[in-house]
Structures are given as C-alpha cells and as structure tokens.
C-alpha cells in the first residue's frame, strides 16, 4: 500500500492548480482574440471583389458595406481595377459613398409638411432643399371717392429672412394639390405690399370694372413641369431682378392671399 505524505499532496495540488490556471488563461486568450477578430473586421477592395466573385447579390453586398467598417481605395486606378474585376456599378458607387448607397426614396426627400397636405414650397440649390417659411399678412382696403376701391396684402416685415443670389432660381412643390403664383412684392417704408384685385371706374354713375386675384403687374410667369421624384418643378420664365418676392398657393381656384412664402433676390 502506498502512502502519501503531506508534502506530496501539496505538490500535486500545486501542479493541478497551475494546469487549471494555464488552461483558463489559454481559453481567455482565444476568446479575446476571436472577439477582436470580429470587432475589427474591416472591408477592403479585395473583400468586395471576393463577395462579387462568390455570387452574392448586389443588395447584400451594399448592405454589408453600409453596416461594416471600411477602408476602401477609391483612387482612379483602384476604381478601374474594380470595374475590371466585374464589380457592379451600384456596388462601386456604394464604396465611394455615392447615391446608390442610399435608399432610392431618400434621393429627393419631400420637405416637411408635404405629406400632411399643407402648402409647401422649397428652393432647390446645390442638391439640397430649403423650405420657404410663410408670412401671414393683413388685408387692407382702400376706397377713393369716384375712383373705385383697391385691396392689398400688407406684410409687416420689411425684408424676407431667406435671401438668395440666383436670378433664375428653381423651386419644388411636392404637393400637386396646389397651384402656385409667384409675385413681386411692392416695398413700403416699414412693410411690403402685395396688390390684389380692385374695382375701378365711376361705379356710382354707370358701371365699374372688377378684377379678382393678384394684380397682373405683380404676377410673374412660371414654367411648370413634373419633378423627377414627384411634385412640381417651378422656375420663372425670365431672370428675376433684385427685390422682394413670394409665392401664394391656390387650391381649386381659391387663392390663399394672406399667406405668402417669401424670399428675396439680392
């Protein structure tokens, strides 16, 4: 029968402890290395070429590009090599951050408020849209003895906050429910005026002429065409001179003349 001394038992326990500790350390290193390998996955040009040659759909590759860290070479020579390797155009555009990397609906987002059916119009410049803010005016009547009457919409602010330098600006109206009238605002000392309909002539002694709507002298002709992503694209037929301008919306022939979406041309 073999007898174990306390010294031999202690030595055996120490050996077992060292083996267990070494095993745990080794497993920890494997887990840490594996975790780092997943977290640090970075897509390169070669990664994309491999996915294309593997036959993965374009949509899957583009989604992978969006969701991953990436370090692409987008120099001219590298792009030519990608094309030669059979990488589809949409995938290449996603690699360089072009329009194909975004959903099609996001290519030309409608200004806020369009979906709710509100009158909305935006200035299109440098690929972006600037929604024009509306200013509410006051309707004023002027009656002259033997001279008829006249109406004007008076905007209390003397200047529009939104000012542009373009003489031939382009505007987008995403909601086709409304028709738009571009008007030139008449400057006042402390306000701006939009001349409207009037009645002229000696109506007390045998007749008068009535006109409803914006005074034709202050209305500006527009070219209107469908926008690529829906809505209407509006542009003045002639270059605008420096001054104060605004849009008024009409629905079913009724003009909302007290709400003006104003801007100014410097």
Task: Sketch the domain layout of the chain as residue ranges.
Answer: 44-106, 108-265
Which pair of structure tokens corresponds to residue 76?
């001219």
**In whole angstroms, how far apart are CA 8 and each of 1, 5, 71?**
16, 5, 59
For the segment 16-34, the average pLDDT, to the nearest whole number, is 52
Q: What is the DSSP letter of 261?
A: E
Adjacent-strand bridge partners of 220:
182
* 93 and 99 Cβ atoms separated by less than 8 Å: yes
Instruction: Give the model's pLDDT for residue 37.
Output: 42
**Lowest-confidence segment of 85-99, 120-134, 231-245 by average pLDDT:** 85-99
Instruction: Identify the residue with better confidence: 9 or 242.
Output: 242
Confidence of residue 139 (pLDDT cuts 50, 70, 90): confident
Average pLDDT of the chain is: 77
pLDDT in tens, 157-214: 999 999 999 999 999 998 888 889 999 999 988 999 998 865 554 444 444 444 457 8
For the segment 104-112, the average pLDDT, to the nearest whole number, is 48
Q: What interhelical angle do 58-67 and 45-53 show, nearest 10?
A: 150
Instruction: Give the model's pLDDT for residue 252.
Output: 64
DSSP strand E in 18-156: where?
A: 42-43, 69-70, 122-125, 128-131, 134-136, 138-144, 148-155
* 260 and 138 Cβ atoms separated by less than 8 Å: no
CA gap 138, 134 in Å, rounded: 13
This prediction's pTM: 0.53
Q: Which residue has the tokens 């036959």?
A: 55
Nearest to 200 by CA among 141, 139, 149, 142: 149
């Amino acid at each position: 029968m073999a007898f174990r001394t306390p010294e031999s038992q202690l030595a055996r326990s120490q050996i077992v402890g060292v083996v267990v500790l070494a095993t745990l350390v080794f497993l920890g290193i494997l887990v840490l290395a594996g975790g780092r390998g997943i977290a640090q996955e970075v897509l390169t040009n070669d990664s994309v070429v491999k996915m294309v040659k593997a036959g993965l759909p374009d949509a899957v590759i583009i989604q992978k590009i969006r969701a991953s860290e990436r370090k692409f070479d987008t120099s001219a020579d590298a792009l030519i090599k990608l094309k030669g390797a059979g990488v589809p155009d949409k995938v290449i555009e996603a690699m360089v951050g072009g329009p194909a990397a975004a959903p099609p609906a996001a290519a030309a987002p409608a200004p806020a408020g369009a979906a709710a059916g509100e009158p909305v119009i935006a200035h299109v410049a440098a690929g972006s849209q600037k929604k024009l803010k509306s200013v509410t005016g006051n309707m004023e009547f002027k009656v002259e003895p033997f001279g008829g009457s006249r109406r004007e919409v008076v905007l209390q602010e003397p200047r529009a906050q939104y000012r542009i330098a373009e003489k031939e600006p382009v505007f987008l109206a995403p909601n086709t429910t409304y028709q738009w009238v571009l008007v030139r605002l008449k400057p006042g000392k402390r306000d701006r005026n939009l001349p409207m309909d009037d009645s002229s002539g000696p109506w007390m002694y045998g007749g008068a002429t009535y006109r409803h709507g914006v005074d034709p002298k202050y209305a500006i002709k527009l070219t209107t065409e469908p926008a690529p992503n829906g809505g209407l694209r509006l542009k003045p037929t002639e270059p605008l001179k420096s001054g104060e301008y605004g849009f008024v919306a009409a629905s079913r022939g009724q003009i909302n003349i007290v709400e003006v979406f104003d801007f100014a041309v410097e």
